[in-house]
Every structure is written in C-alpha cells, then in structure tokens.
Amino acid sequence: MKTLFDETCIGTLQLRNRLVRSATWEAMADDAGRPTPRLVRVYRDLAYGGTGLIISSATTFSGDATRVPGMLAIPDDSYIQAYHELVQTVHREGAPIVMQLVFPGRNGVFWTPSDPSRDEIHSIARGFRDAAFRAQRAGFDGVEIHAAHGYFLSQFLNDKRNTRTDEYGGIVRNRIRFLLEITSEIQARTGETFPILVKINCSDFEEDDGVWEACQSACSKLAEQGIRAIEVSGGISHMPFPPQGLPYEESVFRDYAAEIARITDVPVILVGLNRTPSVLTGLLNTAGIGYFSLSRPFLRQPDLARYWRKNPDRPAECLSCDACREQPDGNVCPFRKSLVGEK
C-alpha cells in the first residue's frame, strides 16, 4: 500500500514524501522582486517542517511585467545570486525547490490572448526559456509553468476567452500550441534532465469553456514532450473557490486529476482543498494520483508534513477562512504557531 510518506522521485527530484507546497503568493519580495530575508525564512520553515517539494510563488521574468505587491521576479542575471542563497537554505533542510514562472502581462495590464502579436508570443516563450535557465543556474531543482487560474497563459485554453483567429486560437490543437512551445523552448535551453512541471486548469467552470478538452490534449502532448509532472487545478482567481457544482468538500478536483493520471504516464499532483490524510491516502491508492499540493494549510502549519506523520488521523488545522490575505505584513496566517524546535 502506498503512503503519503513514501520516498519517491519525479525525474531528478528526490522527494521524502508526497506532500507539495503549491505556489503561494507571500507578498514578501522587495520592490524589485528579489527575495528578502523574511521570505527566505518562510521557505526555510517549509523545508525544516518536512515538506516533500516546495514550489515557489509565481515569479515574473521581464522588467516591464505586471506584478502585484511583493511578487517575485527574475528578469536578468543579477538576480541569480539572491535566489542561490534561498535555494541553498532550502537544500540544507532536505527539500527540493522548483521555481514557478508566470507571465501576467506588461506595464500594469493583465493581458488576454488577443493582446500579443505573433512576434510577442514568440518573445514571451523565449522569456520563459531564459528565466528557466536563470533558475537552473541559481540552483533550483526545476521550474513549473503556471497555466492555471485564468491568467494569461491559462486563457489560451479557454474557447471563449481565446478569441484569436491565427494558429494560437480556435481548435484545441491551436489553443494548446503556446504552452507546448514554451516547454520546448525551456527544454532546448536547460536540457532534457532539468525537470519541467506544468500547473494547468482542468476547467475554468464557465459554461462551454472548452478547457477540459484542451487540458486533456495538452497533458497528453506535454507527457510526450517529457514533462516531469502535472499539477491539476481549476477555477479562476477572482471567482469564488471552490467552484460551484463540484461533488466534494475536499480534494475537489480529484476526478479530473484521476483522468489525467489515466491518460498520461507522468506523475499527477492534485491541488485544491487537500485537508485530510485519510482522504489523500485513499486517492493515492485508488485514483492514480501520486502527489498532493497544499497552499493555505502550509501558511498555518509549515510543519504540516511532520505533523501528519505523527498524527495521521488529524486534518489540517487550516479553516480556509482567508484571514491570511487580510494581514498588513504579508500573506500570513494569524493563527500560525511557532515550529517545534524552530531555529
């Protein structure tokens, strides 16, 4: 029987358990997007707390990128050393770390698929490539492409939001083209052994959005390209979560993730209200889902992995109240307790 605390590998990533910290905006980068000592401490606590794999918060890669306050960035080589120090801190505590890369838009505007020209699309793909290479040089163990939650790249999958009439819009093959080109660019620059993960929406949960069909096709093609893992999410950031109509109170995208696991041969990571070890263990052994990522529970319990190892019958303490987003000093849980043995 598989357990949440099996030691496994995702490509070259060696994981001490199946619990993943999903990308979480911390609002703690400096004004230029570099990690601060306070932010490094957040990642150290996650690693020290036993997390199997850490995915960084969304990181932009162009100097004119649209960013929210405290958002990470890696627009040029001068940022590499700051990230190298963050990575070393995480590695000393025994966890691998992956940088999530995102393109929201430029000059304060959140882009839609209709905004860029073909040349700009190609330039963005090269931007992902160059940022991934910087992450590799900084010591990150891989990168994750953010193609979920209704942001720019995610919208290409949506048949209603993607109104392009060229080779990047219309039929499913065209709507997934940009994502596949990005991964190909990264592979060409970083090499075949450097892990690339993709976070993708199973659905935007809009009527007839076509996202599920595009998701299945994209995941199949990504697996053929050699992607190392697929993180299955859903919904749009500014809409209520979880989306209406799902039959579960926990692990809400489980059926979609199970289907992606069935049609591909790469590890699937499920995100979305993962709260109870027994539920996750059941999915691990019956649905083909290999890993489980969490966001808000790690804000309250950065040592959640250690806690669940000792208390397998206890759910996460997170109440999903979103008080973390209302704090004046960053995205932090007001109910967080200090780690036992915290350094």
Residue 296 binned pLDDT confidence (cut-offs 50, 70, 90): very high
Q: Shortest CA distance to 38 belongs to which of 336, 334, 329, 333?
A: 329
Q: What percent of the chain has pLDDT over 70?
A: 98
Catalytic residue selected from 151, 168, 256, 291: 151
Strands 72-73 and 53-55, how do they pair?
Answer: unpaired
Active site (annotated) includes residue 83: no
CB atoms within 10 A of CB 217: 18
Task: Indicate whether 43 pLDDT > 60.
Answer: yes
> Could you tell me the domains of the chain?
8-326 (3.20.20.70)
Task: Indicate whether 58 pLDDT > 90.
Answer: yes
| 279-289 burial code (b ≥16 CB/10 A, e <16) | bbbebbeebbb
Task: Indicate whether 341 pLDDT > 60.
Answer: no
Tell me the pLDDT tens digit for each residue of 143-189: 999 999 999 999 999 999 999 999 999 999 999 999 999 999 999 99
Average pLDDT rounded to a whole number, residues 286-299: 98
Mean pLDDT of the chain: 96
Predicted local distance difference test score (pLDDT) of residue 239:
84
Residues in the chain: 343
- pTM for this prediction: 0.97
Distance CA 108, CA 131 (A): 20
38, 25 Cβ separation under 8 angstroms: no
Task: Indicate whether 30 pLDDT > 80.
Answer: yes
Strands 59-60 and 72-73, how do they pair?
Answer: parallel
Sign of CA dihedral 216, 219, 220, 221: positive
Task: Indicate whether 340 pLDDT > 50.
Answer: no
CA 218 to chain centre: 16
Q: Shortest CA distance to 186 belongs to which of 95, 100, 253, 276?
A: 100
